Amino acid sequence: MTSKKRIFSGIQPTGIIHLGNYFGAIYNWIQLLKKEKDLDVFCCIVDYHALTVFQKPEVLSENIKQLAKLYIACGLDPSRVTIFRQSAVPEHTELAWLLNCITPMAELERMTQYKDKSEQHKSNINAGLFTYPVLMAADILLYDTDFVPVGEDQKQHVELARVIAKKFNNLYGETFKEPGVYVNPVSARLRALDNPEKKMSKSASSEYNYISLTDTPDIVEKKIKKAVTDSGSEIKYGEARPAISNLMTIYSLATEMSIKDIEKKFIGKGYGDFKKSLTEHLVNFLKPIQKKLSAIDDNELEAILKNGGIEARKIASKKVAEVREKIGL
Ligand code: AMP
Ligand code: TRP
């Protein structure tokens, strides 16, 4: 086992990456890297997970590249972190099968994401959707992960990875580290701009649900203008005001201003002023990411992914060899 602390996380290459993905996940990976110099970070593009919902092949391969570029454009430096595709390391699916055989159906039936997604995709409730958390457990456990930084919706899956690790260790002897979960309380669950009852989501039917990291200034302006607000007109944070509180959270994350200071700044002003300022800050926040994104060369990216896959596989193959031996294969 390693002495450096290791974090592992992943995002599905299923289209746009929105502010929820950024602040719920990527931002925290970067913050953790800044705080702890001696950290091993694995940033995975979980392309196998994406397949639980049908993806057009040519779109999927573009989305994989785009997500890898976004990781880099957001500030994940490939010389410090391992960026790789899940499907480049076959040990992920191999371990997933082995873990499937010790995972109780009842545990999987409890998973709220499975219940939600099967509700959303009634015509394609496939076995992959059901066993999705076991593949995620394999992702995490292969690397002796200490912490998994994710948004609130993934907490239950990381907890299941702990349950599976414990069960395997009990059956076959100490093999897997039980991973911890890291959820940033501020950005754990950004809400949809068009409906604060729901979370910001890639699979939303309307693009007014989210701000994508690649949205142009015009689009950001249009989306913020249309964003739902609460009754009243004050810029005040509170549980009874979920829409404006969500916008204020986004404001705070993009500017690093505290909620209290944002309230002070907008005393006596209305939603119009607030939205105008939020638009400006978001445009400025997205600009450097978009600039970096357009400068990444495709060949360079291929080399980064290839190298990331080789590095990841070195660790994953050792772990799977140990597991096979313990199981008696
Ligand atoms: P996914 O798009 O499902 O692959 O999610 C990638 C990461 O973004 C995971 O860590 C999620 O928990 C996180 N995430 C997704 N939506 C949100 C949201 N609305 N607020 C905060 N985090 C989110
Ligand atoms: N299931 C996660 C999501 O939808 C993505 C994911 C797959 C992941 N494997 C992972 C996240 C391992 C963290 C660690 O967001």
pLDDT tens by residue, 262-316: 999 999 999 999 999 999 999 999 999 999 999 999 999 999 999 999 999 999 9
First CA to last CA distance, the chain: 22
Q: Which ligand is nearest to the CA of 44?
A: 2
Residues 92-113: pLDDT tens digits? 999 999 999 999 999 999 999 9
Per-residue HEC secondary structure of 249-263 comes to: HHHHHHHCCCHHHHH
8 A C-beta contact, residue 263 and residue 257: no
Helix axes 127-141 and 155-172, enclosed angle (nearest 10) = 70
| CB of 10 sitting under 6 A from ligand 2 | yes
* DSSP string for residues in 23-79: IIIIHHHHHHHHH-SSEEEEEEE-HHHHTTS---HHHHHHHHHHHHHHHHHTT--TT
Residues 166-185: pLDDT tens digits? 999 999 999 999 999 999 99
Nearest Cα to Cα of residue 63 among 115, 131, 14: 14
SS3 5: strand
* 192 strand-pairing partners: 195
What does the alpha-carbon distance between residue 308 and residue 45 come to, in Å, rounded to a whole number?
11
For residue 108 the two structure tokens come to 């999987």
Residues 27-86: pLDDT tens digits? 999 999 999 888 999 999 999 999 999 999 999 999 999 999 999 999 999 999 999 999
Domain architecture of the chain: domains with CATH: 5-183+297-327 (3.40.50.620), 192-293 (1.10.240.10)
pLDDT value for 122? 87
pLDDT value for 55? 96
For the chain, the residue count is: 329
Q: How much is the CA Rg of the chain, to the nearest whole Å?
A: 21
Q: How far is CA 256 from CA 86, 133, 248, 252, in A?
A: 33, 34, 11, 5
What does the alpha-carbon distance between residue 263 and residue 11 come to, in Å, rounded to a whole number?
33
- Ligand 1 mean position, distance from CA 153 (Å): 7
Does residue 220 have a pLDDT over 60?
yes
| CB of 86 sitting under 6 A from ligand 2 | no
- Best residue among 8, 19, 21, 85 to mutate for probing ligand 1, ranked by most atoms within 8 Å of CB: 21
Does residue 1 have a pLDDT over 70?
no
The CA angle 281-211-50, to the nearest 5 degrees, is 140
| CB of 140 sitting under 6 A from ligand 2 | yes
For residue 117 the two structure tokens come to 């997604």
- Ligand 2 mean position, distance from CA 149 (Å): 10
- The whole-model pTM stands at 0.96
What does the alpha-carbon distance between residue 309 and residue 78 come to, in Å, rounded to a whole number?
12
